[in-house]
Amino acid sequence: MRGFGIAASAVAATAFFSSAVSAQQVDPIVIKGSKFFYKTNGTQFFMKGVAYQQEIGPGGASSADTTDGSRAPNYQDPLANEAACRRDVPILQQLQTNTIRVYAIDPTKDHDPCMSLLANAGIYVVADLSQPDESIDRNSPQWDDTLYERYTAVVDSLAKYNNVLGFFAGNEVSNQANNTDASAFVKAAVRDMKSYIKQKQYRTIGVGYATNDDKEIREQLADYFNCGDPAEAIDFWGYNIYSWCGDSSYTESGFDQRTDEFASYSVPVFFAEYGCNTVQPRKFTEVQALYGRQMTPVWSGGIVYMYFQEANDYGLVTVSGNTVSKLPDFTALSRQIASVTPSGVQMSAYNPTNTAAASCPSVNAAWGAVASPLPPSANPQLCQCMMASLTCTVASGTDTDDYEDLFQQVCGYDDGKPCAGIAHNATTGTFGAYSMCNATEQLSWAFNVYVSGQDNQNQACDFDGKAATKSAASSSSQCSGLLSEAGAEGTGDVTSAPNGGGAASTSTGAAAATTVPDFNFGLLKLGAYLITAVIGGASLILL
């Protein structure tokens, strides 16, 4: 069926938004137990959502990915395009949309116009903290100061808007048993973002995770992110699920089993993506189940993938300039959504009884992340202090393509001692104090440890011209305290939290899109990691 065009006339848009509401004034959504509620009237909130971002594929993959596995830093911030928001918000309202998910925003841009337009329409935002070139890589997991600065910058840019419902600290990072160790780094990111939000005295904003539907690890993932210290656990759980295709059913799709599995989960759960397209046009008959009496006691609704028609053929509409053409999927979803009225409970009458996972998954063939400890908190200040204290560092202009060989060389000395302070192994729970620094900082640390044990230090600080000597800066009292906690070999526990400065500049920039493969030295495993370049209401959780 051919879509029909809707011209976004300036007159209509002006009339529609004449009574615009500030995004700071909209009633925030709060979390109590395993449910969302409107803060003011206590009505339970069910997401009727749509994924809203161009150039982003299912699971958050960038359509800018290339066939050789490289990735172009190409994404469009959907919350920074006022003209597009004015064009699309009325269309989203026709679907009774109350939530959108965005996968990558530019924290340096102005989001006031779009966030106010969304607020006026009663639409909340769930935002991923990463972007395609700055995220936790399942094959080379690392939670470092560069990612910390990206994530905190996004939090800083969106925290002021009451219609920000929450953040995703990761999306489908672990997708099979052999990369579940990566979940430890995502959980560390959850912990640090929750701590940062509290330290900055923002309103309480939930931080969660969006998972894929992998039968081998889905239960372990759900338990792992929900177990242990509440300060480290997720505030909500998003499920990317595409098991209902065509005229499926509650049982055939497995929705019944997933509902049983989450019946006792202690935080809100919802479909972070849904809408299988193997049968087209999509009928969205799963809407009746998702918002029906069997699922609403457990699930808080869901987010349809997706608004824009792209090469992956999941779109609800096509867009050309200011014209939006509805596709058959839009019509089908509109009919289904219009026919459901999810029934919930009032916040005042709701007494949560669900508890967090009784135990974390044990390390075995199907699970690779030890329950404790998590990777250390990303602390840009500690990395800056460390770099200032060194007398041998990576030479300026060193090609990051050489990093792999340099790591192998220096970590091979003295039974791996130079790299003990940067080790990060989530399976054994072995983490050096500087394991959360970026690659240039880590390599500089390893150089310096090796050189400090040599008699002729200036000559030893060479590495074929890839290292250079410098004078150590005098340490401030704060730096002295942090370095003392890290210890001379970098294997101490740093308990001092980051100073809450957010996206402060690190002492050395990391190169974009460079990876350092895994390598082992005896019992020391130095995990691979991505070297990236820094680019420059919220949910209130009721106990």
Spatial neighbors of 3 by CB under 8 A, at least 6 apart, are 317, 318, 325, 326, 327, 328, 330
Q: Is residue 418 in some structural domain?
A: yes
Same domain? For 214 and 78 the reply is yes
Question: Looking at residue 500, what is its pLDDT?
Answer: 56
Per mean pLDDT, which range of 94-103, 158-167, 519-528 is the poorest?
Answer: 519-528
Provide the CATH number for the domain around residue 391.
Answer: 1.20.58.1040
Q: Is residue 303 in some structural domain?
A: yes
**pLDDT one-digit tens code per residue, 29-77:** 999 999 999 999 999 999 999 999 997 777 766 554 444 444 444 689 9
Catalytic residue among 273, 286, 485, 489: 273
* Confidence label for 458 from pLDDT (cuts 50, 70 and 90): confident
Same domain? For 384 and 284 the reply is no
Same domain? For 461 and 343 the reply is no
> What residue has token string 């990111």?
189
Of 339, 337, 344, whose CA–CA distance to 50 is shortest?
A: 337
N-term to C-term CA, the chain: 50
User: 525 - beta bridge partners?
Assistant: 520
Same domain? For 137 and 181 the reply is yes
The DSSP string of 40-79 is TT-BB--EEEEE--TTB-GGG-BTTB-TTS-B------TT
Same domain? For 434 and 285 the reply is no
Q: Which of residues 334, 349, 364 is at a domain's end?
A: 349
Same domain? For 109 and 196 the reply is yes
Same domain? For 317 and 188 the reply is yes
Q: Is residue 357 in some structural domain?
A: no
Count CB atoms within 10 A of the CB of residue 254: 16
Residues 37 and 70: their CA atoms lie apart, in Å, by 42
Torsion from C-alpha of 316, 320, 324, 325, nearest 10 degrees: -60
Count CB atoms within 10 A of the CB of residue 122: 15
CB contact at 8 A, 336 and 288: yes
Spatial neighbors of 362 by CB under 8 A, at least 6 apart, are 371
Number of domains in the chain: 2
Residues 438 and 147: their CA atoms lie apart, in Å, by 9
SS3 content of the chain, % helix, strand, coil (to 5): 30, 20, 50
Residue 286 has pLDDT above 50, yes or no: yes
**pLDDT one-digit tens code per residue, 179-224:** 999 999 999 999 999 999 999 999 999 999 999 999 999 999 999 9
Q: Is residue 298 in some structural domain?
A: yes
Q: Is residue 355 in some structural domain?
A: no
Q: The domain containing residue 436 runs over which residues?
A: 380-486
Same domain? For 334 and 385 the reply is no
Per mean pLDDT, which range of 104-113, 131-140, 220-229, 426-435 is the poorest?
Answer: 131-140
Residue 455 has pLDDT above 90, yes or no: no
234: left (phi over 0), alpha (psi -120 to 50) or beta: beta
Q: Which of residues 459, 486, 513 is at a domain's end?
A: 486
The single-letter DSSP state of residue 281 is S
- Lookup: tokens for 419: 């790299």
| Residue 149 known to be catalytic | no
CB contact at 8 A, 112 and 164: no
Catalytic residue among 172, 232, 252, 261: 172
Of 227, 181, 192, 222, whose CA–CA distance to 428 is shortest?
A: 181
Same domain? For 294 and 417 the reply is no
* Confidence label for 505 from pLDDT (cuts 50, 70 and 90): very low
410 three-state secondary structure:
helix
Same domain? For 291 and 390 the reply is no
Spatial neighbors of 229 by CB under 8 A, at least 6 apart, are none
CB contact at 8 A, 360 and 223: yes
Q: Is residue 406 in some structural domain?
A: yes
33: left (phi over 0), alpha (psi -120 to 50) or beta: left
Residues 181 and 237: their CA atoms lie apart, in Å, by 19
> What residue has token string 């309480």?
204
The single-letter DSSP state of residue 131 is B
Q: Which of residues 299, 327, 349 is at a domain's end?
A: 349
**pLDDT one-digit tens code per residue, 438-449:** 999 999 999 999
Same domain? For 227 and 308 the reply is yes
Question: Looking at residue 2, what is its pLDDT?
Answer: 33
| Residue 273 known to be catalytic | yes
Averaged pLDDT score across all residues of the chain: 88
User: b/e map of 198-223 (b: 16 or more CB within 10 Å)?
Assistant: eeeebbbbbbbbbbbbeeebbebbbb
Question: Looking at residue 499, what is its pLDDT?
Answer: 65
Q: Is residue 273 in some structural domain?
A: yes
The distance from CA 519 to its chain's CA centroid, rounded to whole angstroms, is 27
Of 514, 543, 441, 468, whose CA–CA distance to 145 is shortest?
A: 441
Q: Is residue 17 in some structural domain?
A: no
Residues 5 and 54: their CA atoms lie apart, in Å, by 19
Same domain? For 263 and 390 the reply is no
**pLDDT one-digit tens code per residue, 111-150:** 999 999 999 999 999 999 999 989 999 998 999 999 999 9
Provide the CATH number for the domain around residue 122.
Answer: 3.20.20.80
Q: Where are the alpha helices (DSSP H) in 328-463?
A: 328-338, 380-389, 403-411, 439-452, 457-460
